[in-house]
Amino acid sequence: MDIGVWMSSSVLAHKRDTEHTTQSWNLREIPEGFSQSSGPYRLFVAVDEYWRGFFILKQIACNMDDRVRPWTVAFDPHMWTPVLPSPAPKADRQTGYTRDVPTPCSVQQRNQ
């Protein structure tokens, strides 16, 4: 199952920092059945209302000490795959993610 999130271009630049082997993104909740479906999972990223690319997720963890965003999805910044920009849905401030992401067949990768 793939999910999408929204971030600024500066945050995306930080998340793509390949000096680290792992980066993460915190969520209020995760989609029902997310950890039970077969992977690999992709974390699509929208910047300025357009999908820009995705990371392959490595791990999903829960930190119950974080009462605002207890779910963490970890990914390898080296696995960033840019895609041709396509319109993304408006940001969902309630959940912090969307399931309305490009399908594998519709993704057109672009050269980095």
Domain 3-87 coded CATH 2.30.130: yes
Give the span between the Cα atoms of 110 and 29, in whole angstroms.
31
| Predicted structure pTM score | 0.85
What SS3 string covers 16-58?
CCCCCCCEEEEECCCCCCCCCCCCCCEEEEEECCEEEEEEEEE
φ, ψ of residue 32 in degrees (nearest 5): -55, 135
> Among 63-67, 80-84, 93-97, 98-102, which is the least confidently predicted range?
93-97
Question: In angstroms, what CA-CA distances link 3 with 11, 20, 55, 71, 111?
Answer: 18, 23, 10, 13, 22
pLDDT digits over 15-28, tens only?
A: 998 888 999 998 88
pLDDT of res. 106: 64
Long-range contacts of 63-66 (CB under 8 A, 24+ apart): 66/26
**For residue 2, pLDDT beyond 60:** yes
pLDDT digits over 38-88, tens only?
A: 778 899 999 999 999 999 988 888 888 888 888 888 999 999 999 999 999
